[in-house]
Amino acid sequence: MRWEKLGIVFKPDVEWGSKRSMVPTPVLLNENTIRVFVTLCDADNVGRPAFVDVDASDPRKVQRFSQQPIMNVGEPESFDQHGVVPSCIVRDPNGRLLMYYSGFQRFDTVPYKIFTGLAISENNGESFVRCQTAPILAGSDTETMFRCAGYVDRSDSGYRMWYIAGSEWETVAGKQMPRYSLKYAESSDGITWPSAGISSMDLSDPDEHGFGRPWLVIDSDGTHHLYYSVRRISKAAYRLGYAYSSDGLQWNRMDDQMGLDVSPNSSDSNAISFTSVITVKGNTWCFYNGNGFGEDGFAVARLVDNRVLAD
């Protein structure tokens, strides 16, 4: 694949979210507008979600910014008291938007734990209300620290989720870092999920330390295309990965074919992560974060060559 970087889309300048713009998550609002949900972090690095409406023909053209959080963090001692980060937005059969999000909670013994929450919007994403105060993916015996960053696919037969899971913190270059892999789970209603997922993609290189938010595209012939981030020890940062599959369970990794990497002297000179891909009006756009998990805002690239060389 080959992508043309178009630069930063938007960096909101608001007191409650001035530090970074994390994990851009697009939804096609109508034929002319892509609504990009993004988490804005305050000075204490607590994140709250907002949205940025952009032109579907040219996402560099911002139409509207929500100005205020579309949902606040949770109450004290809740699983999402220190951050709400949308990872996937799904429209249910009733037309409501389901926001699957990662909830952050800090601890004295480890930097944080991250579990998955669900919130619902009746007004096309202008605001969201929690489905329940408890996480829908909580800690379990085999996934004790992280069950988060899920991509959810809805069909007539139910819901499928690809998510990040793990139970370890490791010290890398003097800093505590989470270690996690990709898991898969199914649900009949999108709310009740098993306590542990099926292993879908494991770390395969000693230099790999974890995966970032997965994003799935399914072709009409059933081919699954997975876009994700890979945290590398040697880089002390994320790089991007790509894989394909016939069933969404067994993946053929082709990270070198992703075609989107860091650029010198730019907002993504040191890191690139958290891709999301959407095709509108014949164009395929990739939203992503650069240095510092979006310290300069979130960016976009356009797909100019979708060929992937055989491995």
Taking only the tens place, the pLDDT of each residue in 65-118 is 999 999 999 999 999 999 999 999 999 999 999 999 999 999 999 999 999 999
Residue 78's pLDDT is: 98
User: H helices within 64-133, ranges in order?
Assistant: none
The two tokens of residue 231 are 């945290």
The DSSP symbol for 14 reads: -
CATH superfamily assigned to domain 2-305: Glycosyl hydrolase domain; family 43 (2.115.10.20)
The span from the CA of 290 to the CA of 278, in Å, is 18
The span from the CA of 267 to the CA of 289, in Å, is 9
Closest CA to 115 of 186, 178, 201: 178
Cβ 254 vs Cβ 1: under 8 Å: no
Query: Nearest 5°: CA angle at 37, between 33 and 42?
Result: 140
Instruction: Please name every residue paired with 250 in a beta bridge, in sequence order, or none if there are none.
Output: none
The phi, psi pair for 48, rounded to 5°, reads -130, 140
Residue 310's pLDDT is: 53
pTM for this model (two decimals): 0.97
Q: SS3 for 301?
A: strand
Residue ranges, the chain, pLDDT below 70: 309-311
298-305 and 97-106 as β-strands: parallel, antiparallel, unpaired?
Answer: unpaired
Q: SS3 for 306?
A: coil
Residue 42's pLDDT is: 96
Q: What is the pLDDT of residues 31-65, one digit of tens each?
A: 999 999 999 999 999 999 999 999 999 999 999 99
Residue 309's pLDDT is: 63
Every domain of the chain and the residues it spans: 2-305
Long-range contacts of 272-275 (CB under 8 A, 24+ apart): 272/229, 272/238, 272/239, 272/240, 273/212, 273/229, 273/237, 273/238, 273/239, 273/240, 274/22, 274/23, 274/24, 274/212, 274/213, 274/229, 274/238, 275/213, 275/215, 275/227, 275/228, 275/229, 275/240
Q: What is the gyration radius of the CA atoms in the chain, in angstroms? A: 18
- Secondary structure in 3-state letters for 279-309: EECCEEEEEEECHHHHCCCEEEEEEEECCCC
The two tokens of residue 197 are 């997922």
